[in-house]
Amino acid sequence: MVLDRRIPANVPNIKTDLLFLRCRDAVIFGAKRENWRPPSYRFAPNYLRDLAPPAAEEAAAELEGYKLRWPEFERELQRDRRETEERAEAVRLDGEKAQKQAASEKRKQAAAAAKA
């Protein structure tokens, strides 16, 4: 898994969930920040160091393969982040539009009541 600290949600010292990329199938998923601790998550070099030699070599080779694919993974993370931000902006704009419509309707009702 990859935790990219350049993604705004993954910056240290904020309260939002973390956004991870699982390398083996390029799935992006969120995880609660409070659950981000060993043994669930480990820094790759520390994990490799603690493996027995044959397993460490195999895992290191697998990690190198993922590193080679990082540009592809990074594009996927950026696309996902961009789509999430666009959806959030659309929701915000819809909320503003609804508030403006409600305020306009209130003014119309107040004007109609004043005429009566």
User: Predicted confidence band at 41 (pLDDT cuts at 50, 70, 90)?
Assistant: confident
Sheet holding 27-31, edge to edge: 2-3, 18-22, 27-31
Q: Is-contact 31 18, C-beta < 8 A?
A: yes
Tell me the pLDDT tens digit for each residue of 1-28. Answer: 888 888 888 899 888 889 888 877 878 8
Element (H, E) at 3: strand 2-3
User: Predicted confidence band at 42 (pLDDT cuts at 50, 70, 90)?
Assistant: confident
Domain boundaries, the chain: 2-83
Name beta bridge partners: 28. 21
Tell me whether the omega of the peptide bond preceding residue 8 falls within 30 degrees of 0, making it cis. no
Tell me the pLDDT tens digit for each residue of 61-103. Answer: 999 998 898 898 888 888 888 898 899 999 999 999 999 999 9
Q: Is-contact 2 14, C-beta < 8 A?
A: no
More confident residue, 82 or 57: 57
More confident residue, 31 or 40: 31
